[in-house]
Structure 1
């Protein structure tokens, strides 16, 4: 641990000395992960922000603790109806704020649990993971993982259905505010469709786009350019996306954002739009598939890679 961490996050820095961690990513969306079965490791915002600082810490978009569900109030509540959710993904944004869910993060979290040999996921089986957005079920998919992200829904349904948009978004580099749809994937997203790839490339996401009205818990903003043609000969829809994440800034990828972007584009496309999508982000490509869930609602499956790149141990030495 650097002097910056020790100075900024004390006494949490001293409490975390000796804590093992891994660094991982899903299509460039990167995380620091720790195995903390009993929930003893610090999670205060100053400590997490210092840890995720890219210049004076380890650097990451977010911090994920693997905690037994029985050790957290949120996890114990999930165990009442889903006893298989032994592990809870305690996720924090890079600024230390608590987040409900992270689609890339849950794949990396599952990969981390397997690498730590505290969970098993045989081919054809599933792994139930507790999150603040409910239980997520992970299966193997090619060289990566697929996650049932649960149902999607409009945050402002009346306006969305009646007008095809529910908000306006001011984005750096674009002269005119753009219409958008606000969609919940367990966490909030605002999806903006752009006409040209040049518009997407020229936007400035160093600052958060201004959304009006903004969802109650804030929002992630996805800028989307549908492919032309939208649907290929294989029947798969395609789009390209950039994202500004709440509490982080622009990231290489956002799994829940890719799901929301596909949901919004599919809604705009109308009847006959495909169930399968490929979403290209700066960090790679993820798959999004819509299907009828066991609860009678339309669910979204997210698929893509998960990679662990390094292991280490925190210390208080500068």
Structure 2
């Protein structure tokens, strides 16, 4: 995606449970956006505005319809995006590339099986969660723990940690509406124990089949929804016995269903997608 003068960029604006995206078709081999161009495109005042940019590209795996990459609002790249995966799937259906209800797509984190559930709803197999600290990565801990503790500005923060191809810390709170998202999120992201930063989730268990969640994402800040964050919160709480293995996760922008059978098994995430508009943006 060259940054030549008078560049006209065609895109689709989409969202999944309020987590919004600018989707760009690069299957012709065009170059992806530079960090500076991605940040300009994502700016909500002078660009199109989005949480992330999704570039749809040629598949990496035999049998996959396409691959996609993720660019955060600050121009940095990401390895995984659950809501983005569903929007890519919906884009492929809407464009006529996907002609059956089940198909595969490739992300930077691997290959994902997708099912079109109808009505704009899609399920995506998100992969097997990895709780090993070195894989998150979470430094300073030699072995996996159900709960970690770190000192943070005079207090102790307790959290679970998991990798879904991107790093997540999950803090269980009594009331998610009162959670210190804007204060604690950046502090944990900047902590030396998270060398690649971290997506920070604040989760409130409502009952065994339902939790509420807010997520402060790397390179974006708090979003209305985070698909991989919902998966992370669900599996951390499921591992603790706090949630059943088929649960609803309510975020500010909508609701996702997370299914996980336990250790060594992949997570299945289901939820909505929406096409907002097609557009052209002049760089």
Report the TM-score, using the length of structure 2 for normalisation: 0.88
Aligned residue number for residue 67 of structure 1: 57
Shift of 1:107: 0.2
From 251, 256, 280, the counterpart of 2:250: 280
Structure 1: runs of 5 or more not aligned: 1-8, 70-74, 232-236
Aligned residue number for residue 119 of structure 1: 98
Query: SS in structure 2 opposite 1:14?
Result: coil
Distance 1:195 1:213, change over 3 A: farther
RMSD: 2.5
Aligned length: 275
Aligned residue number for residue 226 of structure 1: 205
Aligned residue number for residue 5 of structure 2: 14
Range 111-120 or range 95-104, more displaced? 111-120
From 111, 120, 123, the counterpart of 1:146: 123
Whether the 8 Å CA contact 2:65–2:103 is kept in 1: the answer is no
| 2:266 paired with 1:299 | yes
Shift of 1:161: 4.4
Query: SS in structure 2 opposite 1:177?
Result: strand
Range 252-261 or range 282-291, more displaced? 282-291
CA–CA distance in structure 1, aligned partners of residues 56 and 199 of structure 2: 24
From 22, 28, 36, the counterpart of 1:38: 28
Whether the 8 Å CA contact 2:176–2:202 is kept in 1: the answer is no
Aligned residue number for residue 192 of structure 1: 171
Whether the 8 Å CA contact 2:65–2:97 is kept in 1: the answer is no
Distance 1:130 1:203, change over 3 A: closer
Deviations 1:257-312 (A, max 9, x none): 00000111112226xx52101001110111100137xxx92111010001010101
Q: Which has the higher helix share?
A: 1
After the TM superposition, which residues 1-318 of structure 1 pair with which residues of structure 2 at under 5 Å, given as runs?
12=3, 14=5, 17-69=7-59, 75=60, 79=61, 83-122=62-101, 126-143=102-119, 144-156=121-133, 161-162=144-145, 164-168=146-150, 170=152, 176-197=155-176, 199-200=178-179, 203-204=181-182, 208-210=186-188, 212=191, 214-227=193-206, 230-231=207-208, 237-269=209-241, 273-291=243-261, 297-316=264-283
Whether the 8 Å CA contact 2:171–2:202 is kept in 1: the answer is yes
Range 258-267 or range 111-120, more displaced? 111-120
Shift of 1:105: 0.2
CA–CA distance in structure 1, aligned partners of residues 151 and 241 of structure 2: 21
Deviations 1:31-60 (A, max 9, x none): 000111123144100000000001111000
CA–CA distance in structure 2, aligned partners of residues 149 and 217 of structure 1: 21
Distance 1:169 1:222, change over 3 A: farther
Report the TM-score, using the length of structure 1 for normalisation: 0.79
CA–CA distance in structure 1, aligned partners of residues 274 and 4 of structure 2: 27
Q: Which has the higher strand share?
A: 2
Distance 1:96 1:198, change over 3 A: closer
